[in-house]
Amino acid sequence: MTGFDTTAKSAETAKGAAARPEPGIMPGRERRAARTAAAPAVRGRRPLGLWRLEVLRVTRTRRWLLLLLAFPLLGILGPIVVRHLHRILDVLGADGGALPETVEAQDAMIAYTGVGGQIGLLVALGVMAAALALDHRPGLAAFYRTRTCRPRDLVIPRWTVCAAAVCLANLLATGIVWAEIRWLFGPVPADRMIYGMLFETVYLLMALSLVAGAAAFLRRPVALFGAALIAMVLSPLPRLWKPLRAWEPSELGGAGIQLLGESTPGDFVRPAIVALLLTAVMLSLAVWRIGRREM
């Protein structure tokens, strides 16, 4: 090949390279068009923060469905079963001799709190244990710990979102029970029902905080659930000492029943204070321990 041919070939190569864009780089007009087309999608996309991530965890994993089945469904059935219990037993051919001749609104609330409330509490403890067992899987633990700057970001969003879902499910169930009691037994004092819902919400927050306290020392969801359940079972023991009876927070779980009787809202103020303080202590312990724990 002569020098002239080599020079001509080099010129053609340079001309083709100038005509073609560099790899990965578009010409200015095409780049502007692509950026304009992609701008609405980028502008409409919400950043996935910790709080939104926890909301998606509750909704997309169908944990909210478990709470709805545990609280409102049993809330619907409780007062109806109590009101028509004699007819149900007659249809089934069972003996109802030990049952009272008449039932009242307080009996309907007992049916929900004693059955639906307890089952709902167990489901709530399980859902919270699954949410707070962040060190159970080392891979996910490393993912979360490398993307948070403060220890409380590992605990507070998870606990708050899950606790909000539990409390909303319980409030919905209690509202259903209230409507059915009004329909089946007649009107009940609205202020007593509202106070009962408030005190039961405080009780649920305290129970869920026990899961956070267990998460400060344990890792597996089953262990968290078991430890919190044992703590709930043992929580009434301080009532054995008379000076502590007025401060014992487990009384809040039956506030809705007792307020339809002879109790007053003032009887539950001191247990509510203890429950809120215990909730704050358990959450602080969980943040302190989990933030300093090695994977």
What range does the domain containing 196 cover?
Answer: 60-292
Give CA–CA dist 178/126, Å, rounded: 27
Query: Angle CA(189)–CA(195)–CA(199) in degrees, nearest 5?
Result: 150
Residue 131: inside a domain, yes or no?
yes
Residue 36: inside a domain, yes or no?
no
For residue 99, the model assigns a pLDDT of 57
Give me the number of domains the chain comprises: 1
Residue in the block written with tokens 């919190």: 228
Give CA–CA dist 169/154, Å, rounded: 24
Residue 77: inside a domain, yes or no?
yes
Residue 8: inside a domain, yes or no?
no
**CA quadruple 279, 281, 287, 290: dihedral sign:** negative
pTM (predicted TM-score): 0.78
Give, for all 295 residues of the chain, the pLDDT tens digit. Answer: 444 454 444 545 544 544 444 444 444 444 444 444 444 444 455 666 778 888 888 888 888 888 888 888 877 877 777 776 666 666 666 555 555 556 677 777 877 887 778 889 999 999 999 999 888 787 777 777 877 778 888 899 999 999 999 999 999 988 888 888 888 888 888 888 899 999 999 999 999 999 999 999 998 999 999 999 999 999 888 888 888 888 999 889 888 888 888 888 999 999 999 999 999 999 999 999 988 877 6
Residue 41: inside a domain, yes or no?
no
Residue 3: inside a domain, yes or no?
no
For 37-80, the pLDDT digits (tens) are: 444 444 455 666 778 888 888 888 888 888 888 888 877 877 77
Residue 19: inside a domain, yes or no?
no
Residue 25: inside a domain, yes or no?
no
